[in-house]
Amino acid sequence: MHKNFRRDCDGHQAITHSTAPGGLDIAGWLRHLATLPPAPGQMGAALDSIRRALEETPDDPSLWAQLAQLGQRHFAPELVRQAAQNALALTEHKTGAERAQALVAMAGVARESEALEQAEQYYRQALQHCADHLPAHLGLGDLLLQWGRVDEAVALFEATVKLNPVAGYGALIDARRFPDDPKILVNIEKIALLPSLAGPVRTSLLFKLASAWEHHQDYAKAFQLAQQANAANRQLLTYRAEDHRRLCNRIRQTFTAEFFAARSGFGHASTLPVFVLGMPRSGTTLVEQIIGGHPDIHGAGEIGITSGIAQFLEQAERHTGSRRVYPECVHEVTARQSTAFAEKILQQLRAMAPAARHVVDKLPHNF
């Protein structure tokens, strides 16, 4: 099956032609899969789809821009920067949607590093290449709101309504500019309740609508929508305190002093990694900033390499037949394998800051 693709001005791909010459166009399907919005809880799978697609088509700037966008949600600043720079380089001599998408990706990098004036330039350049590029509209408007330039932001969002009414009105509600016509809110609610890859309902829209109805003093309607959104969010939460408590106990029972004593020669002697651990909102970012103030230390943000290795171990052991899941499956790891895993972590950290003596990974749940 062979698919041809075109891109609209949002940078999205659309199938325009289909033939069946007898072969399967793996690269085409991977590209198409990578353009789909990630389902709740499937951000890692979305990242994997994009990376696999890039292995087949490494010169696709749209995929690099998408990788940068997803990387921002994964708190992976180095990944975001490299992906955005690749997208920008690949579109250096291009115009239109692809160039706009790359510029918006670079705007995200600039905002992450607090270079807000540079971010504004990127957004405006993107709109010069593609005047109806929705992410550029929303990004620039959000930036203007951040600066307190509310009237400019509102004017931009009002123009956005003509491109995408739902996104435009949603942005206006965030800017505390509520539609006066209740029919507009009713129509947005119909869209919010349509099942999609994002889930049975679009909870972010429902929360915006709740805010709008509260503004119109229809508190019963506001509570109804907020309750619907909360109920939908709860269905996506897999956390159970009892399960987490059992996992913590199993980790303590596995990684004992005797366990480490028996594996004193395992791993790698490098002192490059520095892990900042703790509960969320406990000050891990501040600790990283203090440590990263030293010129020889690089703060890489929340990387999460170790959690990926834990997942790999669990999957690998299931395939070998031992059926021992994490953390018990670490008993199967050999000295050679532990060194290979350590090298994998070190390789990724070195790529982020080749000259640094230490690189900080501050993902709290690395514990």
The pLDDT value recorded for residue 239 is 78
The Cα–Cα gap between 285 and 296 comes to 18
pLDDT at 5: 41
Q: Which residue has the tokens 């979305």?
A: 46
pLDDT at 233 over 50: yes
Which residue shows structure tokens 């550029």?
136
Predicted confidence at residue 6, as pLDDT, reads: 42
Q: Which range has the worst mean pLDDT, 31-35, 238-242, 251-255, 326-330?
A: 31-35
Task: Report in angstroms the alpha-carbon separations of 324 from 53, 313, 328, 357.
Answer: 32, 10, 6, 37
Lookup: tokens for 84: 């955005």
168-180: burial string, b at 16+ Cβ within 10 Å, e else: bbbbbbbbebbbe
CA proximity to 20, closest of 4, 43, 44: 4
- Checking if the pLDDT of 163 tops 60, the result is yes
Of the ranges 43-47, 170-174, 334-338, which is most confident? 334-338
Q: Hey, which residues does 297 pair with through a beta bridge? A: 358
Average pLDDT over residues 313-339: 82
Least confident of 144-148, 214-218, 291-295, 306-310: 306-310
Q: At 110, list the tokens.
A: 């600039």
Residue 294 and residue 267: Cα distance in Å, rounded?
A: 27
Alpha carbon 347 to chain centroid distance? Answer: 22
What does residue 44 show for φ and ψ, rounded to 5 degrees?
A: -65, -40
Q: How far apart are CA 141 and CA 133, in angstroms?
A: 13
Q: How many residues appear in the chain?
A: 367
Residue 44 has pLDDT above 60, yes or no: no
Cβ atoms 324, 250 nearer than 8 A: no
State the Cα–Cα distance between residues 93 and 5, nearest whole angstrom.
Answer: 21
Name the 3-class secondary structure at 328.
Answer: helix
Quickly list DSSP for 131-182: TT-HHHHHHHHHHHHHTT-HHHHHHHHHHHHHH-HHHHHHHHHHTT---S-H
Q: Which of 61, 76, 130 is nearest to 108 (CA)?
A: 76
Q: What is the pLDDT of residues 8-23, one digit of tens each?
A: 564 444 433 334 344 5
58-84 pLDDT, tens digit per residue, is 888 888 888 887 766 555 667 788 888
pLDDT at position 33 is: 53
Q: How confident is the model at residue 113 (pLDDT cuts 50, 70, 90)?
A: confident
Say yes or no to pLDDT of 260 above 90.
Answer: yes
- Six token digits for residue 29: 């399907």
Of 261, 263, 193, give the one whose Cα is nearest residue 228.
193
Q: What is the pLDDT of residues 277-289, one digit of tens each?
A: 888 888 888 898 8
